[in-house]
Structure 1
Amino acid sequence: MKTILYLLFLSMASIAMGQNNITGIVTDAETGEGLPFVNIYFPQLEKGTTTDFDGNFNIENLPSGSYSLVYSFVGYGTKSMNLVIPTTDTISLTLSSSAIEMEAVIISTPFHKLQSDNVMKLERQTIKELKASGAVTLGEGISNIAGVEGVSTGLGITKPVIRGLSSNRVLVYTQGVRLENQQFGDEHGLGLSDAGVESVEVIKGPASLLYGSDALGGVLYINPEKFAHQNSSNADFGGTYFTNTQGYSTNAGYKASGEAFKVLFRGSVTEHADYNTADYRVTNTRFKEQDFKAGLGYQSTNFKTDFRYNVNHSKIGIPEGIGEQSTNKTPLLPYQELTNHIFSSRSTVFFNNSKLEFNLGYIYNNRNEFEDEHDHDHDHDHEEDHDEHEDEHHDEEHETLHPALQMKLKTANYDVKYHLPILGKFETIVGVQGMNQVNTNYGEEELIPNAVTNDFGILAMSHIHFEKFDIQLGARYDNRWLQIDNNINKTFNSFNGAFGVKTNLTENITARLNLATGFRAPNLAELTSDGVHHGTNRYEIGNIDLNNEQNFQTDLALEFKSEHIEFFVNGFYNHVNDYIYLSPNGTSINNTPVYNYVQDNSALYGGEIGLHFHPHPLDWLHYESSFETVTGKLDSGDYLPLIPANSINNTIRVEFDYKEETNMYAFVKLKSVFSQDNVSTFETATGSYNLLSAGFGGNIKVFNNYLSIIISGTNLTDKTYVNHLSRLKPDGIFNMGRNFSLGLTYSL
């Protein structure tokens, strides 16, 4: 750690290195003509430009070293190259026309490469694509990504599930830092808004090597919107209306960048009433959310940094059955009131042929939960008054409430990585990561005790480039120390490694094989619970002697890609030792069933198959099909709970690109979900169903600015169904019925 801090201070003294400029031209590979409006971008430097009308470009103030240069344009295949700076040569680049969508740079992996260059197979979707599918919330949108589902409690609460693993087994990153907001709870959602989000990346499988404990099942990496291009500014505002909930979401943002400094601001407001099914509204699935994001950036030749802040405040109803039928948007009891503050700082210092990254984060999560039995004073005379006025406006009713449960979670984390100079075929990173977390109770009830958590990890990883294949390998050591109620100390540690190889078997076929171990330390609920968890109607008893969960996963991906056909098969086998789960012991306390946290070895296996066909000469026509399956079983033979049902997605999509930023699209999608009969003890099975959706939209020019239009419809047949990952399924409560949404965003 002292060595890294020394390098940091040394770097500050060496900022004034020589500035470098590059010039180049991008041409069409067939015609030789210059291509205008081509995006030129250095992902490691977060710096780029676009070509002029003749295809020429110029980028100034670049640090010395070897960097990946990515260049892309609509209707052409994305390409990348390694460029050694300084150079006095004019860079000549060519692009070939292609119906395949442009590739994006993957940020969640340490070497920031295109997906085609990555050793690990990842999934990535932009927030615009998720919204186009008709998703009401960010959590619902994420469940449309291959291999990802969501455990939902109504509409406002969704927890990501990656290949059958969720809660503390899936780590969420936002603004470049790990999100900590009491993920252990079944009814705790992301606590994030899709406003100000650019894209979502998913690492499917153990990512403990990159991120430490809690990444055993994978990582959900949420990328914030980028700053404006250098010496430019823009603003936008818009909103979306949803017919099913009579709800809306509005947001507005502004960003500007000069030669060195950058700023951005974005605010949003969201309100939804109870969602509707063909038979009834699901009482208390209503919620309200306000979100504000701000960013400040600075970039010079050898140093860049950005500071971001996000505050998210929400009131979310917790449904308990079918009752009041209304379109009121103020949550009934019981409900959550959550405030989440995220401060993050991401900085990079560039040396000659190496760089130092240091990311710092602070998350302050204030969780309040209100219940019926606390809606009174100590004077019993007020009970009669309450009965007489129970129909009064809910906001007035809630003013006198005190939270039954209030927890404040304060988390500080750091992530420091040093990218060593490239030695021949080797790119190498060494780093340290850590976290300090304090949980404090203030409410009348205590779900988990006051506790302090400290994490420390050290890692090393290399990417080795050979002529016909690439190898990525690494190792990591982690230590977690827990102090519970000032009298119990627990220590967990783990050593993990990963190995991956990517090779082109033929010109069109790529193979990826990844082997990785991962771990997860038991959370506070699993170690110390001793009471009723009202959200699940269980009396939960923890086990202070629980061990680490430790896993080993094998992941094999085969991909075929030609100009008009893409096909992939991705299979995995994930063995988890000492898997922690809740098991009923057959007794009850105060008429509430008792569940104990226990451990057993388990295995999860399955995968995804996908096809993308865009026939020649109809390059605007796309047919996409995918199949997802996962099975989870304990060594005892019992099935794991909350394993997603198998599903098939078939989509027909058309796209028309007229010129830069002007396009139109339309799609029809059929999602077929199989019945899920492989259930754990006391878990409810669910039947099969089909969901039909459709939509269209695009960008058009209005008053010399662009208006983005998104119109979509989901569950068009108003099918009554129960998703297997719905926490309302034991009561047979249906998921959301038919919904139409209209979204408009105007850019200034």
Structure 2
Amino acid sequence: MNNLLKWIFVLFVMQNSFSQTTIKGFVSDKITNNPISNVYVFISELNKGVTTDESGNYAVILKAKGNIQLQFSHVGYESFVKQVPVNSQFNEIQLDVQLENQVIEINKIVVSNSFINEQKNNTFKVDIADSKDIQKVGGFTIMDVINKIPGIDATTTGTLISRPVIRGLSSNRVLTVIDGVRFETQQWDDEHGIGVNENGVERIEVIKGPESLLFGPEAMGGVINFVKSKPAAVGTTKGSYFSSMSSNNLGWRALANVDGAKEKYNWGVSALGKLYSDYFINNQSFRTPNTRLLEYGLKTYIGTDRKWGSTNISYNYNQAFFGILDGKDISFGPNGELINTDVNEKEKYPFEIEAPFHAVVDHRLTSTSTFLTGKSKFDVIVGYQNNHRAENEELAGVKKGYKYVDMTLQTVTYNVKWYAPKWNNFSTIIGSQGMFQNNKNNNGTATILIPDAAVNDLGFFAVSKFDYKNFNFTVGTRYDSRQLDTENTSSVNYAIPAISKSYENVSSSVGLAYTIANSLTLRTSLAKGYRSPNLNELTTNGYKLESRRFEVGNANFEKEYNNQFDFNATYVTSSVTIEGSYFFNSICNYIFIAPTGNLVPNNTNPSELVSEYKYYQTNAELTGGEARLDIHPKTVKWFRFETKYAILEGKRTDNDSFLPMMSPTKLTNTIYFNFNDFRKFSKTSFNVSVPYTFAQNKIEENELKTKGYSLLNFGLFTTYKKTEITLTANNVLDKEYVNHMSRFRQFGISEPGLNIAIGVRIPLDIK
């Protein structure tokens, strides 16, 4: 018996010693063949990474078997993806890689496409923004980076509340994804921001239009995908601390993180804090009342990889208090000048949150797992979200006022994808998604803007991609159904009857790309998407205190659906990049809100007459395009010039009139100067940017026109030893201008004046 146990033990040890596989190799420069150190080698299936040593060598130990994707990335070099089959036949796999040096990285790895690959192999274009660029553009929030992408704009309520607009479409037509889960918050009103910050986010990937079928319904306008930060390299613990200050609103922003990884485990924790006072215009002479923000949050995760694959669990907590400018503290002088009538506020830079304000609390728990099954794999993501939104309004003698709105939105989502075994040149994904959502009004005395409701979604999809040399072809389809049920709701002087609605839709997408001589890539796609009307559009029937208008919905609205044609051409050489896109988007049953011209009794104060606004439904067409030219001479590395252009037109097809809140035409020119290393300063660059926004005269009948304007912005970036330092100056000439996409336009309030910001990022070397 003892001998038998000994043999079993020996066999167990032998099996474990030979079951693991080591992938190792040498990473070098494609031109010089010199080794490249600190290249991050990431295995997406295992959520695990290693770095190359000073000699350019790397080694990663795997116990899992299957098709493994290795992603190689390093600043200043083009990223590279390689799939490696790992099975029991090999204990050691040699994979040497040569990376191509680039002044700017064009061929980035994207994950928002159906398949993780390099940009050049995508059948539709995915735009990428780095979350760290917030300080480089002198921004306050992550939206200040996203809206620098041509074709992307933002509907704003001051500087700190903004929501994305993709080629003229916003609200529930744009799907927000974070940590692989569709982010569900109260996005039905313009006064509600996107609800996501940069904590734990590496970059943002943007898809324009309904091309992607992987993320679910309500992506007819596009997808904003917040990609989480990668874990630390195996055997290391790393961290960083970032802090910035801005002069205009005397605000500060801080972000700190620590991440660690062992052979089988990785973990991380990060925290964020923001505090901004009201912003100023006209040489700091006018404080825009109650445009302040207090926000803080925490994110933590832990992950492991095993023979079967990997799993990761993350938790995110965030609390934000947004001040509300409702117009009551604004008046106009005899010469039309703005006057702040908030006489009770004595401080020049007030930070205390006082009514009226939004209070938003988010809890997110996400589980992400990958199961390797030989030549195929399964991705399973399950998420729970709890979003609590409250709004406090003014009450005499009470700083915090009274609770005007009090709602809790709970959402459970799942997303299952099966990556089928590759057949010849075909790769296929088959999957299912679902959502179970409940909206609840908590406080019996609060105003009910939307009723208690339950929403259940179910979807199935399949996407297949064909790759052959320089040709790529993608085709896919998905089926979605939604069941929406509301309860009978009574509020102040009005009632909302219960409704029960069912929506179904089949979406599809076809795209192809062809690369000529490794320089010119032509892409074209035809895609169809949809969304169901949201609760606000279906049920609203009362006075909105912040909007100061009586809004009326329509329970008989049909689903929206669209067909978009897109063409993109990208020409890339070592010294120049030229890109152009054209799109045509036909939308059926487009829902929009517009004034009726009538005055109706305010249901909260029947003696007062207020403007009536109604939601309408019609067909619409959106056309436009984007262009970008980037000149970065390979022989003149100290110079770079970039120009970006975007144009858009939105019309109703029933009467050929213009749609409201369409982004104006924009042109931005930026010159970059890069400097040689000087003593302990390195990677120093200086840029001058001149964004020009054209006048917007193509407006809806009752909409206000806006004048064109140009701004002057400066930016300086350098690294002292290992500390990154950023200095920016936006609106250097302190110009007064009105943003067409701002909800403050109705008050005649300009955007922020001169703002100087400094940011410092310090790496934390933790042994």
TM (normalized to structure 1)?
0.91
CA offsets 1:522-566 (integer angstroms, 9 cap, x no match): 000111111012222221111111001010001100011111010
Contact kept? 2:212, 2:509, Cα under 8 Å: no
- Offset of 1:657 from its aligned partner? 7.8
Q: For residue 352 of structure 2, what is the aligned residue in structure 1?
A: 330
> Closer, same or farther in 2 for the Cα pair 1:223/1:658, shift >3 Å?
farther
Contact kept? 2:45, 2:370, Cα under 8 Å: no
Query: Are 1:439 and 2:439 matched, yes or no?
Result: yes
Contact kept? 1:530, 1:539, Cα under 8 Å: yes
Contact kept? 1:193, 1:291, Cα under 8 Å: no
Q: How does 1:503-522 map to 2 (within 5 A)?
A: 503-522=514-533
Classify the secondary structure of the residue corresponding to 2:402. Answer: coil
Q: For residue 366 of structure 1, what is the aligned residue in structure 2?
A: 388
Contact kept? 2:124, 2:511, Cα under 8 Å: yes
Stretch of structure 1 that moved more, 578-587 or 362-371: 578-587
Q: For residue 552 of structure 2, what is the aligned residue in structure 1?
A: 541
Q: Partners in 1 of 2:504 and 2:73 — Cα distance?
A: 44
- Offset of 1:672 from its aligned partner? 0.5
Q: Partners in 2 of 1:507 and 1:423 — Cα distance?
A: 26
Q: For residue 383 of structure 1, what is the aligned residue in structure 2?
A: none
Classify the secondary structure of the residue corresponding to 1:209. Answer: coil
Letter paired with 2:292: R
Query: Are 1:178 and 2:182 matched, yes or no?
Result: yes
> Closer, same or farther in 2 for the Cα pair 1:36/1:252, shift >3 Å?
closer
Contact kept? 2:78, 2:108, Cα under 8 Å: no
Contact kept? 1:208, 1:517, Cα under 8 Å: no
2:663 to 644, 658, 664: 644
CA offsets 1:651-709 (integer angstroms, 9 cap, x no match): 111345869995222211110110001111211110000111111123322xxxx2121
Classify the secondary structure of the residue corresponding to 1:347. Answer: strand
Q: Partners in 1 of 2:73 and 2:447 — Cα distance?
A: 55
Contact kept? 2:321, 2:357, Cα under 8 Å: yes
Letter paired with 2:595: P
Q: Partners in 1 of 2:513 and 2:616 — Cα distance?
A: 39
Q: Partners in 2 of 1:194 and 1:72 — Cα distance?
A: 21
2:706 to 681, 686, 692: 686
Q: Partners in 1 of 2:703 and 2:375 — Cα distance?
A: 56
Q: Partners in 2 of 1:637 and 1:290 — Cα distance?
A: 46
Q: How many residues align?
A: 708
Stretch of structure 1 that moved more, 207-216 or 602-611: 207-216
Query: Are 1:668 and 2:679 matched, yes or no?
Result: no
- Offset of 1:122 from its aligned partner? 1.0
CA offsets 1:231-287 (integer angstroms, 9 cap, x no match): 111222231111000111122222211121222111222111110001511111111
- Offset of 1:293 from its aligned partner? 1.1
Q: Partners in 1 of 2:439 and 2:699 — Cα distance?
A: 34
Q: Partners in 1 of 2:235 and 2:702 — Cα distance?
A: 61
Contact kept? 1:408, 1:440, Cα under 8 Å: yes
Query: Are 1:136 and 2:146 matched, yes or no?
Result: no
Classify the secondary structure of the residue corresponding to 1:526. Answer: helix
Letter paired with 2:79: T
> Closer, same or farther in 2 for the Cα pair 1:30/1:439, shift >3 Å?
closer
Classify the secondary structure of the residue corresponding to 2:145. Answer: helix
> Closer, same or farther in 2 for the Cα pair 1:259/1:493, shift >3 Å?
same
Q: Partners in 2 of 1:74 and 1:209 — Cα distance?
A: 31
- Offset of 1:28 from its aligned partner? 3.2
- Offset of 1:112 from its aligned partner? 1.2
Q: Partners in 2 of 1:137 and 1:114 — Cα distance?
A: 28
- Offset of 1:62 from its aligned partner? 5.3
Contact kept? 2:321, 2:358, Cα under 8 Å: yes
- Offset of 1:442 from its aligned partner? 2.3
Contact kept? 2:507, 2:528, Cα under 8 Å: yes
Contact kept? 1:73, 1:102, Cα under 8 Å: no
Unaligned runs of 5+ in 2: 1-15, 331-339, 489-497, 602-608
Q: Partners in 2 of 1:309 and 1:66 — Cα distance?
A: 29
Cα RMSD after superposing both structures: 2.1
- Offset of 1:44 from its aligned partner? 4.0
Contact kept? 2:586, 2:620, Cα under 8 Å: yes
- Offset of 1:185 from its aligned partner? 0.9
Contact kept? 2:140, 2:160, Cα under 8 Å: no
1:712 to 708, 717, 728: 728
Letter paired with 2:411: T
Q: For residue 233 of structure 1, what is the aligned residue in structure 2?
A: 237
Contact kept? 2:79, 2:109, Cα under 8 Å: no
> Closer, same or farther in 2 for the Cα pair 1:256/1:658, shift >3 Å?
farther
Contact kept? 2:47, 2:231, Cα under 8 Å: no
Q: For residue 494 of structure 2, what is the aligned residue in structure 1?
A: none
Q: Partners in 1 of 2:565 and 2:412 — Cα distance?
A: 33
- Offset of 1:155 from its aligned partner? 1.7
Letter paired with 2:71: V
- Offset of 1:339 from its aligned partner? 0.8
Q: How does 1:592-631 map to 2 (within 5 A)?
A: 592-631=610-649
Contact kept? 1:44, 1:112, Cα under 8 Å: no
Q: For residue 588 of structure 1, what is the aligned residue in structure 2?
A: 599
Q: For residue 497 of structure 1, what is the aligned residue in structure 2?
A: 508
> Closer, same or farther in 2 for the Cα pair 1:723/1:648, shift >3 Å?
same
Letter paired with 2:481: N
1:575 to 567, 576, 586: 586
Q: Partners in 1 of 2:462 and 2:267 — Cα distance?
A: 34
Letter paired with 1:504: T
Q: For residue 194 of structure 2, what is the aligned residue in structure 1?
A: 190
Q: For residue 335 of structure 2, what is the aligned residue in structure 1?
A: none
Letter paired with 1:341: H
> Closer, same or farther in 2 for the Cα pair 1:461/1:269, shift >3 Å?
same
Classify the secondary structure of the residue corresponding to 2:417. Answer: strand
Q: Partners in 2 of 1:657 and 1:112 — Cα distance?
A: 35
Q: For residue 743 of structure 1, what is the aligned residue in structure 2?
A: 759
- Offset of 1:56 from its aligned partner? 2.2
CA offsets 1:360-415 (integer angstroms, 9 cap, x no match): 1111111111122xx26xxxxxxxxx3xxxxxxxxx722xx431111111111110
Unaligned runs of 5+ in 1: 1-14, 377-385, 387-395
1:293 to 292, 299, 304: 299
Classify the secondary structure of the residue corresponding to 1:199. Answer: strand
1:206 to 194, 210, 220: 210
Letter paired with 2:60: I
> Closer, same or farther in 2 for the Cα pair 1:309/1:62, shift >3 Å?
same
Q: For residue 59 of structure 1, what is the aligned residue in structure 2?
A: 60
Contact kept? 2:474, 2:512, Cα under 8 Å: yes
Q: Partners in 2 of 1:609 and 1:282 — Cα distance?
A: 35
Moved over 4 A (4+): 86-89, 656-662
Q: For residue 450 of structure 1, what is the aligned residue in structure 2?
A: 452
Contact kept? 2:311, 2:370, Cα under 8 Å: yes
Letter paired with 1:61: L
Q: For residue 305 of structure 1, what is the aligned residue in structure 2?
A: 311
- Offset of 1:637 from its aligned partner? 1.2
Q: Partners in 2 of 1:33 and 1:239 — Cα distance?
A: 36
> Closer, same or farther in 2 for the Cα pair 1:89/1:525, shift >3 Å?
closer
Q: For residue 34 of structure 1, what is the aligned residue in structure 2?
A: 35
CA offsets 1:70-120 (integer angstroms, 9 cap, x no match): 334444433333333245553232234333426432122231111122111
> Closer, same or farther in 2 for the Cα pair 1:593/1:352, shift >3 Å?
same
Contact kept? 1:72, 1:102, Cα under 8 Å: no
Contact kept? 1:665, 1:696, Cα under 8 Å: yes
Q: Partners in 2 of 1:193 and 1:176 — Cα distance?
A: 15
Classify the secondary structure of the residue corresponding to 1:404. Answer: strand
Q: Partners in 1 of 2:254 and 2:470 — Cα distance?
A: 49
Classify the secondary structure of the residue corresponding to 2:213. Answer: helix
